[in-house]
Amino acid sequence: MSGTRLFFAVCLLISAVAFLLAIPSTAPEKAMPPAPDVGMGVWQEYKCEGCHTLYGQGGNYAPDLTHIYATRGGDYLREFLLNPAAFHPDQRQMPMLGLTKSESDNLLAFLQWVGEQPAANTWPPRPINVSGGGSLNVLPANASTTISSAANSADPVVRGQYLFSNAPAICSTCHSLSADVVIVGPSLAGIANRAGSRVAGTSAEEYLRNSIVHPSDFIVPGFQDVMQKNFGDVLTSDQINDLIAFLMTQK
């Protein structure tokens, strides 16, 4: 083969390749339903966890996204992922990552899946719900009764006071008796004054009994329904009466 022919042959080959490359790919993108596992690949590829956390794991530069799908919803997030610069211009900005539509759909399927996992229910962990300064004074400073005699006192108020901070009740894990100290549940300082007006038509004693036995019936505004539900089983009716007698002295 002469040098010239070889030269033309190579030129032909190059132009053929160039021609093939120039043909736009007309095959439409296959419409695959978005999938969480594919989305997880996109999450890793774009290093989202360099800036974001899921279940608290990852970078702390940008918000935790464990519950973002439930918080913002798919429509908002789709817009956001394709054009983050258009959102919250006054805040730290997320860079434009140039995601394709299908990448962002898969990511959203992944973020939705993350938020639906059982572990996501406990993330973020509850904050340490203690505010205020006082001390957890359960027995009055001038109490002459010792702890063991308190448990067997003839006075229901003293027995109830003992139970309040001892097994099997230990209400004091979650309730303080100082007005300015909130643990997990509301302070029970002054509860005797409020109990009668919490639920229309329910006396203070009835309300207290129901608060102990059926805590979910009435949720004190601003608190979560986390008081345990089994006090009706673990406490005897005498013990519940004693607790009520004690709480009725908290004026």
Interface contacts to ligand HEC, rule CB under 6 A? 43, 46-48, 50-52, 61-63, 65, 68, 72, 77, 80-81, 87-88, 91-95, 97, 107, 169, 171, 173-175, 184-186, 191, 194, 198, 208, 211-212, 215, 218-220, 223-228, 231, 243
Toward ligand HEC, which CB reaches closer, 33 or 222? 222
Toward ligand HEC, which CB reaches closer, 181 or 212? 212
Toward ligand HEC, which CB reaches closer, 63 or 145? 63
CB of 104 to ligand HEC, least distance (A): 8
Toward ligand HEC, which CB reaches closer, 17 or 190? 190
CB of 217 to ligand HEC, least distance (A): 8
CB of 130 to ligand HEC, least distance (A): 13
Toward ligand HEC, which CB reaches closer, 79 or 153? 79
Toward ligand HEC, which CB reaches closer, 67 or 145? 67
- Alpha-carbon gap, residue 183 to 175, rounded angstroms: 6
- Alpha-carbon gap, residue 175 to 190, rounded angstroms: 12
CB of 20 to ligand HEC, least distance (A): 33
Cβ–Cβ < 8 Å for 76, 8: no
The CA distances from residue 165 to 13, 173, 230, in Å, are: 89, 7, 17
Tokens of 52: 């974001």
CB of 207 to ligand HEC, least distance (A): 7
Toward ligand HEC, which CB reaches closer, 12 or 179? 179
CB of 95 to ligand HEC, least distance (A): 5
CB of 201 to ligand HEC, least distance (A): 15
